[in-house]
Amino acid sequence: MFDNWEDLEKSIIDCKKCKLCTGRQNIVFGTGNKNAKLMFIGEGPGADEDRLGEPFVGRAGKLMNLAFKAIGLNREEVYIANIVKCRPPGNRNPEEDECEACMNYLRNQVILVKPEIIVLLGSVALKHILGKEYGITASRGKWVEKKGIKYMPTWHPAALLRDETKKIDFVNDLLLVMKELNNKSDSLT
């Protein structure tokens, strides 16, 4: 484990812990406020993210940004990361060994950010953070507390692109997050 961002970022720059490294353009480390009280974790980068080296900049990210705007949240106030840091081929879900190869990077990011709340975007993030026994349909919109951090599972923004009826659930889940944050303090930083 690293006690600073610079060493953590250097440790991942040439990562070859799994086969995803062979097809990547860029490692998609994470972005945002490194002292945020609110963190979002997705599954892995898509084509746009791989090209630009930043999470959630494609269609799903644009939709997430619209939801942020609707609830009065600025993207710059939060920290955003993924389970895996390299794009799975064809945007498939990351495989178990790929997720495990990146988990220490993500754990270290959580330790350095010290968020009060983590929003888990989709099933892959939910299962790898809270456990295989959790399912996104049954868990979304319900708080889970673990090791002093509150977790809010919700739909992955890409799911909203496939099924627009999930947009209301997504925004409602984010409103619950904002309500909880406002109960804890007056600011996100």
Q: Residue 65: give its domain's CATH number.
A: 3.40.470.10
| 140 in a structural domain | yes
Name, in order, each residue with C-beta under 8 angstroms of 169's C-beta and a sequence gap of 6 or more: 140, 141, 154, 155
Residue type at 74? N
Quote the radius of gyration of the chain (alpha carbons, Å): 15
| 178 in a structural domain | yes
| 33 in a structural domain | yes
The number of folded domains in the chain is 1
pLDDT at 184: 74
Q: How far apart are CA 29 and CA 188, in angstroms?
A: 21
Structure tokens that stand for 13 in this block: 């720059």
pLDDT at 187: 47
Angle at 29 between CA 77 and CA 189, to 5 degrees: 20
| 189 in a structural domain | no
Q: For every one of its 189 residues, what pLDDT tens digit does the chain have, with 9 covering 90 and above?
A: 899 999 999 999 999 999 999 999 999 999 999 999 999 999 999 999 999 999 999 999 999 999 999 999 999 999 999 999 999 999 899 999 999 999 999 999 999 999 999 999 999 999 999 999 999 999 999 999 999 999 999 999 999 999 999 999 999 999 999 999 998 765 444
Q: Could you tell me the residue range of the domain that residue 42 belongs to?
A: 5-183
| 176 in a structural domain | yes
In DSSP notation, the chain reads --SSHHHHHHHHTT--SSGGGGG-SS----EE-TT-SEEEEES---HHHHHHTSSS-SHHHHHHHHHHHHHT--GGGSEEEES-SSPPGGGPPPPHHHHHHHHHHHHHHHHHH--SEEEEESHHHHHHHT-TT--HHHHTT--EEETTEEEEEE--HHHHHH-TTHHHHHHHHHHHHHHHHHHH-S---
| 91 in a structural domain | yes
Q: How far apart are CA 101 and CA 187, in angstroms?
A: 34
Q: How far is CA 15 from the centre of its chain?
A: 20
Residue type at 62? K
Structure tokens that stand for 128 in this block: 């790898």
| 94 in a structural domain | yes
| 188 in a structural domain | no
